[in-house]
């Protein structure tokens, strides 16, 4: 018997390695706004959390300037860098296996929803996804808000039958607020302490996509 009926995946760092596209867009935004260039390791902060929050935090921007940076980033990302992404090896097989066992697959991402759908449409694994939800133009949604959209759409009442899979603490916090289990992936961008127990909803960690199945079926 399957342990879960709905698996909600993060996108960046979980299904796809989107490093190149995001970094190229961040560099373009920095140059466009005449901000000081970051050290190489500092760019990692932009993968995972909402872009508007990261620009505000890293550069101390007020809300208007952070919104301007976000608009520049999103425009160049959509027009030039959206498809600079690599599917993690084995992730399609994971999604196919779950789908064949009548488990619903969803995506909950901080990426703007229309961009996420456009990007995912470029990959074969799209056929195994039931729902895709992301952020909106206003950048006001928390990760738990996006997760809740997946849950509501699935019509699954028992939250013990739902699990989130992600690579950053933002994903875990979202899962915790939604009161669902969480699996951390350590091949992505976010987790530095590979063995750290995040909290009560954290049921385990994986080092490659195929290991996700060990916790679900």
Residue 129 is assigned to a structural domain of this protein: yes
Residues 122 and 75 in one domain: no
Last residue of a domain, one of 28, 58, 81: 81
| CATH code at position 71 | 1.10.150.240
Residue 143 is assigned to a structural domain of this protein: yes
Residue 174 is assigned to a structural domain of this protein: yes
For the segment 102-111, the average pLDDT, to the nearest whole number, is 97
Last residue of a domain, one of 65, 81, 97: 81
What's the domain count of the chain? 2
pLDDT digits (tens, 9 = 90+) for 64-89: 999 999 999 999 999 999 999 999 99
pLDDT digits (tens, 9 = 90+) for 124-145: 999 999 999 999 877 678 999 9
In this predicted structure, the answer to whether residue 210 has a pLDDT above a threshold of 70 is: yes
In this predicted structure, the answer to whether residue 193 has a pLDDT above a threshold of 70 is: no
In this predicted structure, the answer to whether residue 203 has a pLDDT above a threshold of 90 is: yes
Helices (H), the chain: 19-32, 51-59, 63-76, 91-100, 113-120, 143-154, 169-178
In this predicted structure, the answer to whether residue 194 has a pLDDT above a threshold of 60 is: no
For position 197, what pLDDT does the model report? 67
Residues 32 and 124 in one domain: no
Residues 201 and 107 in one domain: yes
SS3 category, 164: strand
For position 195, what pLDDT does the model report? 55
What is the extent of the structural domain holding 65?
Answer: 19-81
Residue 149 is assigned to a structural domain of this protein: yes
State the Cα–Cα distance between residues 134 and 132, nearest whole angstrom. 7
**Average pLDDT for the chain:** 93
Residues 75 and 98 in one domain: no
Residues 105 and 191 in one domain: yes
Last residue of a domain, one of 51, 81, 111: 81
Residue 27 is assigned to a structural domain of this protein: yes
Residues 93 and 191 in one domain: yes
Residue 172 is assigned to a structural domain of this protein: yes
Residues 108 and 56 in one domain: no
Residues 94 and 61 in one domain: no
Residues 202 and 159 in one domain: yes
For position 196, what pLDDT does the model report? 63
Residues 130 and 206 in one domain: yes
For position 107, what pLDDT does the model report? 99
For the segment 43-64, the average pLDDT, to the nearest whole number, is 90
In this predicted structure, the answer to whether residue 217 has a pLDDT above a threshold of 90 is: yes
For position 198, what pLDDT does the model report? 74
Residue bearing the bigger pLDDT, 47 or 95: 95
For the segment 171-185, the average pLDDT, to the nearest whole number, is 96
For the segment 10-24, the average pLDDT, to the nearest whole number, is 95
For the segment 182-203, the average pLDDT, to the nearest whole number, is 78
For position 182, what pLDDT does the model report? 97
- Provide the token pair at 163: 């699990």
Residue 1 is assigned to a structural domain of this protein: no
For position 40, what pLDDT does the model report? 85
Percent of the chain with pLDDT over 90: 82
Residues 89 and 65 in one domain: no
Residues 172 and 211 in one domain: yes
One DSSP character per residue, 23-62 reads HHHHHHHHHHTTPPPPPGGGGGGGSSS-HHHHHHHHHT--
């Amino acid at each position: 018997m399957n342990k879960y009926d709905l698996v909600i995946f993060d996108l960046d760092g979980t299904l796809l390695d989107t490093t190149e596209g995001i970094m190229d867009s961040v560099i373009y935004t920095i140059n466009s706004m005449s901000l000081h260039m970051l050290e190489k390791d500092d760019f990692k902060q932009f993968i995972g959390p909402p872009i508007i929050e990261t620009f505000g935090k890293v550069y101390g921007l007020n809300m208007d300037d952070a919104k301007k940076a976000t608009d520049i980033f999103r425009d160049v990302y959509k027009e030039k860098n959206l498809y600079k992404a690599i599917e993690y090896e084995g992730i399609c097989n994971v999604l196919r296996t779950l789908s064949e066992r009548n488990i619903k697959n969803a995506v909950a991402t901080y990426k703007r929803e229309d961009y996420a759908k456009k990007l995912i449409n470029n990959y074969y694994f799209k056929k195994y996804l039931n729902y895709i939800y992301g952020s909106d133009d206003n950048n006001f949604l928390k990760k738990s808000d996006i997760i809740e959209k997946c849950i509501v759409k699935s019509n699954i009442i028992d939250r013990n039958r739902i699990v989130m899979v992600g690579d950053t603490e933002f994903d875990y916090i979202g899962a915790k607020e939604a009161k669902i289990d969480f699996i951390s992936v350590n091949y992505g961008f976010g987790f530095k302490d590979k063995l750290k127990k995040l909290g009560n909803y954290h049921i385990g960690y994986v080092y490659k996509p195929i290991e996700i199945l060990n916790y679900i079926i």
